[in-house]
Structure 1
Amino acid sequence: METENPRREALVGTAGCLTAFAGALAGIVLWAPHGKGGLLDGFEGASNWNVLWVGLPLMILGGIAAALAVFFLVRGDWKRAVGLVAAVAVLFGLGVGVDALAGAPRPECYDPC
């Protein structure tokens, strides 16, 4: 399959890979407070490994899918963008369903009295 401009395709492919990598990093950064809370400060000192084994992969995949959805929206590829938004919704639903971020940091409430 011949392409008209292989340099442009290589550039777009590289930009897509960098976008996916940035999305994965964003997912890790957003997961970090939850992971720390679940692994170190679990209920009664017990670690919640579900946060690591389920939460981290879901956040990484969600970050990649969200970043690529934006990438495809910018490029005008609406079908792929909508598919990736649906994938983010499924990953979100799965994460809520299995309570993957059960160690989420909660704001401290103090008794005003």
Structure 2
Amino acid sequence: MIRNLKTQLRFTFYNSQPIQNLYNEALVAFDFLQNNTNFRIRPSTYACLISTCSSLRSLQLGRKVHDHILSSKSQPDVVLQNYILNMYGKCGSLEDARVVSDEMPQRNV
């Protein structure tokens, strides 16, 4: 449990340091978390991951993270949904952005 907590904290730190270009390390950490089925990822960590995908303009990685969010047990909150919507927009997938927008129970204006 403590090892997982340390991994979560390190992963969130890497994703909060875009100036240092630690995107690759963040994505490696995501692969680790994705393969560790006993580990639950927090919405704030997902938001960091989605932000990384937006910065990289990586639609493929963004979809991978979004699929992981959808397959998890928790529903994304409004903040995370806005990150996802923004990522699809920045990556040029307006169709996916529209689907996310239409599925949002509540929208920030």
TM-score normalized with structure 2 length? 0.29
Higher gyration radius (CA): 1
TM-score normalized with structure 1 length? 0.29
Structure possessing the higher relative contact order (Cα contacts under 8 Å, 6 or more residues apart): 1
